[in-house]
Amino acid sequence: MLRKRTQSAPELKSAREIGLMREAGKLVARALKICRDMAKPGVKTIEIDRAVEELFKKHGATPLFKGYPASAKNPFPACTCISINEQVVHGIPGHRTIRDGDLVKLDTACKLNGWCADRAVTLAIGEVRPERLRLLRVAEEVLQIAIDEMSKRKWWSEVATKMQKHAEDAGFSVVTQYVGHGIGRQMHENPQVPNFVNRELRTKADFRLEPGLTLAVEPMVNMGKPDVVTLSDHWTVVTKDGLPSVHVEHTLAITDKGVYIVTADEEEAVVETGG
């Protein structure tokens, strides 16, 4: 889940603290495995959300999206954001059924034993148009660029430049109204983590990449233009031109060994060796 914040120095995490975040990350990965298994044509999005909520409850984890923010007039009502096709992020689960050919974005986060993790995937359901599959592949490559580059660069702007260029070279656009975020004891910590470079990032919002930094990196790549609008439900963000979008995310930690994928599936390698 995305939120813009005022920038200040990020809090660096110890190896022990990153390990505690990993426990939350494993649970988030398990939740998204449930989502993958359930996301079939004819399934209602609310059914998927209820399964995730039950998993978190079973393990004593706090779902971070439900009721967020507590001070809002219209807090988010579910444990997962489920956004389909032209919906970019923050889709509210309900009675809409998944259909063949859909691009389904599933985003969830939890706090376990005081530490947070956040991840999103996009699923191609059934027979999906080739251009939509290419959009999905490019967005996943954009996220992989961040994983590959974070331990090799000194400043986030260097990474964001490569992420944006890869999407645009493929003929797509990167959403600029929303950014990723630092994460740790809270879901949203500093710094802001844009997937693009603008004047603000170059002049005052850039941040140094160093061991102990923990970030939720979440590129949103649109098939058409980057412009987005929020629907009357106060949450669901859609592309202004109605074309599909893809959202992918991992919680990542920079360590002395490289980039640690806090929200990796348990069977996946979690460290990318830095150069």
- Number of domains, the chain: 1
Residues linked to residue 63 through DSSP beta bridges, in sequence order: 110
Whether 5 is in a domain gets the answer no
Cis peptide bond N-terminal to 130, omega within 30: no
User: Contact, 201 vs 160, CB < 8 A?
Assistant: yes
Q: Is residue 224 part of a domain?
A: yes
- CATH number of the domain at 140, please: 3.90.230.10
- Residue 110 counted as domain residue: yes
Question: How do strand 173-174 and strand 180-182 relate by DSSP bridges?
Answer: unpaired
Instruction: Give the pLDDT score at 7.
Output: 55
Domain coverage including residue 20: 15-273
Does some domain include residue 55? yes
pLDDT, tens digit (0-9, with 9 covering 90-100), for 19-64: 999 999 999 999 999 999 999 999 999 999 999 999 999 999 999 9
Q: Would residue 255 count as lying in a domain?
A: yes
Cis peptide, bond prior to residue 41, ω within 30 of zero:
no
Q: Confirm if 53 and 47 have CB atoms less than 8 A apart.
A: no
Model confidence over 153-211: pLDDT tens digits? 999 999 999 999 999 999 999 999 999 999 999 999 999 999 999 988 888 889 999 99
